Amino acid sequence: MRQLLAAVSSLLIVVPSARTGAAVPLGVVTMAERAQLRSLRASTGDTVFGGDVFSTDDVGALRVRAGAAQFQLFASSSAAVTPTSTGIRATLRSGTLALASANSEAIEVQASEARIRLQGNGPAQAQVTLVSPRELLVTARRGTLEISVDDETQIVPEAASYRVLIDPAPQQPDGAGTKPVQKHPKKPGRVRFIYVVLVVTGVAAGYSVIEAWESPDRP
């Protein structure tokens, strides 16, 4: 009986420990104004976990630091965060997200069907606006970015902006497929990358906020 009770007691100790270890913190909220985390009011100092969803009111803002990276949601924006093997992925659901990172692997952004990654090993700053499910604006403030949609890729050099227009995949007509299929078929008109002269209004406002952050490559 003593052995049985000892075994049960050890299980009660081990199981909660395993659950606690599974929920590894990804970061912390460093600024929150009229913002929500997990559908509750967000506050500075809140711990961020994988799968968390953030949102801001029409006059709100929220900033998160995760390792060597940080990102900020502007007004009327929403995003979710998940871990990657080298950092975090912020999935932008609406609005605008600005990011700063000390290295290229610390953070990546998913917006609609587009994946935005930093290039190089130095510090980088960028901004992504989801205009609609089929349109986004991507700006490289510092460093170089890579935008990928399916097999289409566009490099965004420093101090440049691109509008990304994602067309619905074309429907294959009846009777098609009689010709040999290429190994990597092109999708004409699937994605359009349009260079945009740097906007002085909204984008510049985002820059001023990023510049005010503590540099991610310094403690």
| pLDDT tens, residue by residue, 159-205 | 999 999 998 766 555 555 555 545 445 555 579 999 987 654 444 44
Check whether 214 has a pLDDT greater than 70: no
**What's the average model confidence in pLDDT over 71-84?**
97
pTM of the predicted model, to two decimals? 0.77
Q: Which residues of 138-169 are buried (b: 16+ CB within 10 A; e: fewer)?
A: bbbbbbbbbbebeebebebeeebbbebbbeee
Domain ranges for the chain, please list them: 27-171+180-212
What's residue 49's pLDDT?
97
Task: Give percent of the chain with pLDDT exceeding 70.
Answer: 70
- At the topology level, CATH places domain 27-171+180-212 in Jelly Rolls (2.60.120)
